[in-house]
Amino acid sequence: MKSIFAFLIALSIHSSFASSNVSGYNCRGEESITASEIESYFQELESPILPESSYGDLTFYNEKEILVDSFKTLFISNKILDSVLSIFGRRTENVLSFYRSNYPGDTNCTDVLCAVKSVWGDDLGPKILYAKVKYNFSTSEYTKKGLVRFNTHQLDSIIQGLSDIPYEVLQRVEGYGLSKPKIVLGRVRDSWASAVGVGSKVTFNMEIHNPSNDQAGTISWNTQTMRGVLVHEIGHLIHGTGGLLSKFKKEVDLDCKISAYAETNNKEDFAETFRAFVFNSSELQRQCPDKYQFMRNRVFYGISELKDGGCL
90: domain range? Answer: 31-120
- pLDDT at position 103 is 75
In sequence order, what are the residues at sequence separation of 6 or more whose Cβ sits closer than 8 angstroms to the Cβ of residue 209?
191, 224, 225, 226, 229
What is the predicted pLDDT for the residue at 86? Answer: 54
Specify if 109 maps to a domain.
yes
Instruction: Specify if 48 maps to a domain.
Output: yes
Phi, psi of 290 (to 5 degrees): -70, -30
What pLDDT sits at residue 122?
95
Give the model's pLDDT for residue 192. Answer: 42
Give the rounded percent of residues in the chain with a pLDDT score beyond 70: 63
Low-confidence residues of the chain: pLDDT under 70: 1-30, 76-102, 181-225, 305-312
Q: What is the pLDDT of residue 92?
A: 43
Q: Is residue 62 part of a domain?
A: yes
* Residues whose CB falls within 8 Å of the CB of residue 134, separated by 6 or more in sequence, listed in order: 41, 162
- Residues 99, 77: Cα–Cα separation, whole Å: 9
Written as one letter, the residue type at 149 is: R
* pLDDT number for residue 211: 33
Is 13 inside any structural domain?
no
Single out the residue of 195, 210, 223 nearest to residue 151, CA to CA.
210
Task: Please give the tally of structural domains in the chain.
Answer: 1
Phi/psi for 105 (5° steps) reads -95, -165
Residue 75: inside a domain: yes
Query: Is 73 part of a structural domain of the chain?
Result: yes
Instruction: Please indicate, yes or no, if residue 235 is contained in any of the structural domains.
Output: no
Residue 91 falls inside a structural domain: yes
Q: What is the pTM of this model?
A: 0.73
Q: Is the separation of the CB atoms in 15 and 225 below 8 Å?
A: no
